[in-house]
Structure 1
Amino acid sequence: MTKRVQAKYKIDRRLGQNIWGRPKSPVNRREYGPGQHGQRRKGKLSDFGTQLRAKQKLKGYYGNISEKQFRKYYEEALRLKGDSGENLIGLLERRLDAVVFRSKFVATPFAARQFVNHGHVRVNGRRVNIASYQVKVGDVIEVKEASKQLAIVLEASQLAERDVPDYIEVDHSKMTAKLSRIPGLAEVPYAVQMEPNLVIEFYSR
């Protein structure tokens, strides 16, 4: 299980963007970074700095994935045919915790990881408690029966701040979801602009 060291809103403030589009994000109130040096004037980022920022943003968005695991996604994206940046997004969106989050079974990517780790989710009828499990097109993801009435599940399905994307078919009455296709970057409902090609450039240096 990947350990999340930073508080999620510190990621927002460090990057200066509300990367999940949450109404409670501190970036909505103050745009400077956390800590005693947060209000220093920022200089223009170098090419390396821009690429690093793109990597931190994408890595942070998916529950602050570990560097080791994120690099594996980069290496797999290079091995696949087609555009490496698009491949990277496809791999990240196929994470089980990402599908659980997109399906509005829980409110945040961090909650999704914990929800999966605690054994509340089944894939094709089998319990899977690995958040990074790669969902295949056509797989059926289901909240287990005993967990369907949990408050976090009921509240998340009513959230008005985001919709379920077209590439996931969801039935909230049964708490089931199915990945209908692997999405491209343009289809993924990010709250801020993601630049996977800059991430590829960062690791290709």
Structure 2
Amino acid sequence: MSKRESSKYKIDRRMGENIWGRPKSPVNRREYGPGQHGQRRKGKLSDFGVQLRAKQKLKGYYGDIREKQFRKIYEEANRRKGDTPENLIGLLESRLDAIVYRAKFVPTVFAARQFVNHGHVSVNGVRTNIPSFRCKPGDVIEVREKSKQLVIVLEATQLAERDVPDYIEADHNKMVATFVRVPGLSDVPYAVQMEPNLVVEFYSR
């Protein structure tokens, strides 16, 4: 768990932004990057650098998804009809770990991945331990009975720093959430600006 915590804060500092909007983020105290060269004056980024940074930020936000997996998500978004950046966000927000995080069953997206991995969640009554499992509108996600009293769950539901978005209906008394619809970019409550259009440009080079 400590490895994940440090990874989370390194992402914040590397990006120079509090990408999850958490009050404990080190960026709130130090806006420069980690390491001995973190305070060096940053030069202007090239177009490639801007695109790469946008990709790293979006990939990091969802728990630092592996590059191979993230590229596959992009490729599927590109194959689908419609706007590729919107499709990309929709696919990322349809992941089971993202929905568990959005429903406030856990405090962080890293915890969501571990929570699902450890078998604490069911989808439509079936135990599911794959964080990347893609949910469809109407799917019901539930914290399993034996897991509902875990401290991490009880604390997460009381977090005041974020709300459950309107594309998810969550009942924290029953610890059940329904994925109502696939959201677009404007529906997702990112704490900082995400630029999926730049991610598409990065992979389209």
* Both proteins in one fold, TM over 0.5: yes
In structure 1, the residue matched to 2:99 is: 99
Instruction: Give TM-score, length-normalised by structure 1.
Output: 0.97
1:80 matches 2:80: yes
In structure 2, the residue matched to 1:132 is: 132
Name the CA shift for 1:6/1:29 in 2 (closer, same or farther; >3 Å). Answer: closer
In structure 2, the residue matched to 1:192 is: 192
Please list the CA deviations of residues 17-54 of structure 1 after superposition, one character each: whole Å capped at 9, or x if unmatched. Answer: 00000000000001000001101000011100000000
In structure 2, the residue matched to 1:114 is: 114
Q: Distance in 2 between matches of 1:139 and 1:150?
A: 23
1:19 matches 2:19: yes
Instruction: Give TM-score, length-normalised by structure 2.
Output: 0.97
Are the aligned partners of 1:4 and 1:64 in contact in 2 as well (CA < 8 Å)? no
Q: Distance in 1 between matches of 2:7 and 2:181?
A: 32
In structure 2, the residue matched to 1:169 is: 169
Question: Once superposed, what is the RMSD of the aligned Cα atoms?
Answer: 1.2
Name the CA shift for 1:6/1:72 in 2 (closer, same or farther; >3 Å). Answer: farther
Q: Secondary structure at the match of 2:191?
A: coil
Q: How does 1:31-70 map to 2 (within 5 A)?
A: 31-70=31-70
**What runs of 5+ residues in structure 2 fail to find an aligned partner?**
none
Q: Distance in 2 between matches of 1:32 and 1:139?
A: 41
Please list the CA deviations of residues 157-193 of structure 1 after superposition, one character each: whole Å capped at 9, or x if unmatched. Answer: 0000000000001111100001111000000000000
Name the CA shift for 1:173/1:5 in 2 (closer, same or farther; >3 Å). Answer: closer
Are the aligned partners of 1:77 and 1:88 in contact in 2 as well (CA < 8 Å)? yes
Q: Distance in 2 between matches of 1:38 and 1:192?
A: 21
In structure 2, the residue matched to 1:203 is: 203
Name the CA shift for 1:204/1:87 in 2 (closer, same or farther; >3 Å). Answer: same
Q: Which moved more, 1:5-14 or 1:187-196?
A: 5-14
Counterpart of 2:192, as a letter, is: V
Q: Which moved more, 1:5-14 or 1:22-31?
A: 5-14
Q: Secondary structure at the match of 2:42?
A: coil
Q: Secondary structure at the match of 1:7?
A: helix
Q: Distance in 2 between matches of 1:21 and 1:171?
A: 23
Determine what percentage of the aligned residue pairs are the same residue.
80
Q: Distance in 2 between matches of 1:5 and 1:191?
A: 19
Superposed displacement of residue 7, structure 1: 1.4
**What runs of 5+ residues in structure 1 fail to find an aligned partner?**
none
Aligned length: 203
1:9 matches 2:9: yes
Counterpart of 2:132, as a letter, is: S
Q: Distance in 2 between matches of 1:173 and 1:14?
A: 38
Superposed displacement of residue 200, structure 1: 0.4
